[in-house]
Structure 1
Amino acid sequence: MTECAKSAITQGSEVVLHFDLKLADGSAADSTRVNDKPAKLVMGDGSLTASFEACLLGLITGDKKSFTLEADDAFGMPNPDNIHHLERSKFGSDTPAEEGMIIAFAQPDGSELPGIVRDVTGDSVTVDFNHPLAGQVITFDVEILSVS
């Protein structure tokens, strides 16, 4: 291997990349380019779905690729068990329950879980803990910045 040969992405590779996520209608869902902050990940660490990782395998620094994943392979399908009805009294004046808000809820282990307020009716607040892109077909445009 010559000194300037580029490594291909394999399991365990550390990858720095830019990505753009688009919905089926072409609208932008997320992008690392907005704030020019590339994503850094280790292949196989669980931060990406197996399907997304499979699309990155074999790419090298400088590669640009676009691929589309069905909902099951991207962020999964919405799970009705992840929709909860909470009492409005659980929300304080510093975090009022308003439809469309994303609120971080503390978990018993100290981590936070974001939930989207879907509905506020009387004393009941419906909070959806599914990933915001669950159920969506996603197109990923990636640019590999480095592989190590």
Structure 2
Amino acid sequence: MTLIDLARVGPGSHVTLHYRLARPDGEDIVSTFDERPATLLLGAGQLAPTLEEMMIGMKAGDHSVFRLTPEQGFGPRNPELIQRVKLSTLRENSMVGEDFSPGDLVEFNAPGGGRYAGVLKEVGETSALFDFNHPLAGQELVFEVQIIGII
């Protein structure tokens, strides 16, 4: 047995892997299984911390499938994140001159800098209704991972 055989995924590991995030019905959200594998540095924010934690202790050749609750994924849906935005505010803080339709993901300039995004639900005469929850919030997910190599 060599040191490479003993290598396991840990904090700070460079990991070459295939991964897939999918809905419970099997619909892929993202997958590298039909492409080149990804190489990630654990702890660098390239993958959600919960997903990184699930890989801790795995070794090259391991292949696992994890079911994630909404809390383990993108959190539960928060009804307080469904908010009305004045159309004047929308025009001032989003892309100028764009026409938006329900279902569109709209990015805003945040007060004090930065950006945030919400899904447009409806447009009224003076305001628009947005859902600022992550689009995958409240959903169960499936995380599949195959470890190819660990550096």
| Bin for the TM-score computed over the shorter chain | 0.7 to 0.9
Distance change (3 Å), C-alpha of 1:123 and 1:39: farther
- After the TM superposition, list the runs of 4 or more consecutive aligned residues in structure 1 that deviate by more than 4 angstroms: 33-37, 44-47
In 2, the alpha carbon distance for the partners of 1:43 and 1:147 equals 14
Counterpart of 1:20? 20
> What percentage of residue pairs aligned between the two structures are identical?
30
In 1, the alpha carbon distance for the partners of 2:82 and 2:122 equals 11
1:77-88 correspondence runs (5 A): 77-88=76-87
Larger radius of gyration: 2
Counterpart of 1:66? 65
Counterpart of 1:5? 5
Contact 2:13 2:150 in 1 (8 A): yes
Distance change (3 Å), C-alpha of 1:36 and 1:123: farther
Q: Kindly provide the amino acid, as one letter, of the partner of residue 124 in structure 1.
A: S
Counterpart of 1:147? 150
Gaps of 5+ in 1: none
Quote the RMSD (CA, aligned, Å).
Answer: 2.8
Please, what TM-score do these two structures have when normalized by structure 2? 0.77
**Structure (1 or 2) with the greater helix fraction:** 2
Corresponding residue to 1:100 among 92, 103, 123: 103
Count, aligned residues: 147
Which of 134-143 and 56-65 deviates more? 56-65
Contact 1:88 1:97 in 2 (8 A): no
